Amino acid sequence: MSSSYRFETRAIHHGQEPDQATGAVIVPIYQTSTYAQEAPGIHKGYEYARTGNPTRAALERCLASLEEGAFGLAFSSGMAAITAVSYLLSPGDHVLAPNDVYGGTYRYFVRVLGRYGVETSFVDMTDLDQLEEAFTPSTRLVLVETPTNPYLKILDIQAIAEIAHRRGALVAVDNTFATPYFQKPLLLGADLVVHSTTKYLGGHSDVVGGAVITSNVDLYETLKFHQNAVGAVPGPFDCWLVLRGVKTLAIRMERHQANASQVAAFLRSHPRVERVYYPGLPDHPGYEVARRQMSGFGGMVSFRVKGGKEAARRVASQTRIILLAESLGGVESLIDHPASMTHASLEGTPLQVEEDLLRLSVGIEHPEDLIEDLEQALMG
């Protein structure tokens, strides 16, 4: 399908032409582990399902198109996708990552990759001077995540990519929070985009998956080799669920963002709220960069409540519609107390979060219901 079609159209059609055998409008779940060959080595492009699967191929093509990239690779989780990027590294290489990177990414780079001779430094990438100073002659990869989690800091992808490329390092952007609907890192100079498709791309809290997208054929070939060699591939049903989710990504993101900005405005004026973190608020430190590099501010809102840890835990326990759960990006609103849930493993590390902080994944319910729910939880 032509890539001249617009985002919403490609989300529904790209890589998803009607099934050649039957005309099925929806890409079938090719639940098979192997493919019959006509003669040894003569086949229809598929040999074994770790190497390739048509449902997965449809997802990979669609995601590549949405990110304005040439190649997509799907993985069994976001962490498997991030791990795949790390296969581009060798012992002795140095990595730079944001100082409030996703906790699982921190854990992987420090506790797993560290044992294989790859060292990672965590820096405040909102400060480009600090970033420059952190480079060493061995820095090979700059991992960017923006907006960050849970403080929703905004990192300037274009400026970071310029610095990194001048220093001979690759740039990978974890685009899970913004999604390609609001932010296209490859167009801002990134070499690789990484996703946890578990979140907004899947969008319905019913699948775990990941993806890597690039326009660089050499990086793609290396990653593709490792995708098959390592084997952290998603099953066809999981790929189908993500494809189904992606079809409605545009309208979901519009509503996530509309609801999130209403919730952020409500929280900001609430007497029991200490501080609100939402990149769409004009006094957010990253507001100007966000306006430049994103076409929307997303659906995540973090806030600190007055009264410390106990008050935060109480609010998190008292919401009724907004479910207390880890994860994000589904149609249903979720609340998280990062210090005791998603970010508990970071206690005692430089990535530790404040104990009065709450994180909301604002869903697509009616915004007034969400606001009333937060009101009763804050006042309860």
Ligand X SMILES: *Cc1c(COP(=O)(O)O)cnc(C)c1O
Residues 6+ apart with CB under 8 A from 176: 78, 102, 145, 194, 195, 196, 199, 200, 329
Nearest residue (beta carbon) to ligand X: 78
Residue 106 known to be catalytic? no
Return the C-alpha torsion angle 378, 285, 188, 302, nearest 10.
Answer: -10
The reply on whether position 240 binds ligand X by CB under 6 A is no
Structure tokens at 352: 């530790």
Instruction: Tell me if residue 61 is catalytic.
Output: no
Q: Note the Cα 155 to chain centre separation in Å.
A: 14
| Class of residue 379 by CB neighbours under 10 A (exposed 0-12, middle 13-18, buried 19+) | exposed
Minimum CB–partner distance for residue 210 and ligand X (Å): 5
Length of the chain, please? 380
In this complex, which beta carbon is closest to ligand X, that of residue 196 or of residue 319?
Answer: 196
Residues 106-145 that bind ligand X (CB under 6 A): 145
CA–CA dist 78, 209 (Å, integer): 6
Query: Does 214 participate in binding ligand X (rule CB under 6 A)?
Result: no
Q: How far is the CB of 377 from ligand X (least distance, A)?
A: 24
For residue 177, the minimal CB distance to ligand X (Å) is 6
Cα distance between residue 327 and residue 82, in whole Å: 17
- Is 78 one of the binding residues for ligand X (CB under 6 A)? yes
Task: Say if residue 36 is exposed, middle or buried (CB neighbours under 10 Å; 0-12, 13-18, 19+).
Answer: exposed
Work out whether 79 is an interface residue with ligand X (CB under 6 A): yes
Does 77 participate in binding ligand X (rule CB under 6 A)? yes
CA angle 279, 249, 283 (to 5 degrees): 5
Interface with ligand X, residue 67, by CB under 6 A: no
Number of residues this chain uses to bind ligand X (CB under 6 A): 16
For the CB of residue 223, give the shortest distance to ligand X in the complex, in Å. 17
State phi, psi for 110 to the nearest 5 degrees: -80, -50
Active site residue 167: no
Site for ligand X in 150-209 (CB under 6 A): 174, 176-177, 196, 198-199, 208
Contact call for residue 149 and ligand X (CB under 6 A): yes
Q: Is 104 in the site for ligand X (CB under 6 A)?
A: yes
Give the nearest distance from C-beta 239 to ligand X in angstroms: 14
Do 95 and 141 contact (CB within 8 A), yes or no?
Answer: yes
Residue from 100, 156, 174, 373 carrying the catalytic annotation: 174
- Whether 153 is catalytic is no
Q: Which residues bind ligand X (CB under 6 A)?
A: 77-79, 102, 104-105, 145, 149, 174, 176-177, 196, 198-199, 208, 210
The catalytic site residues sit at: 50, 102, 174, 199
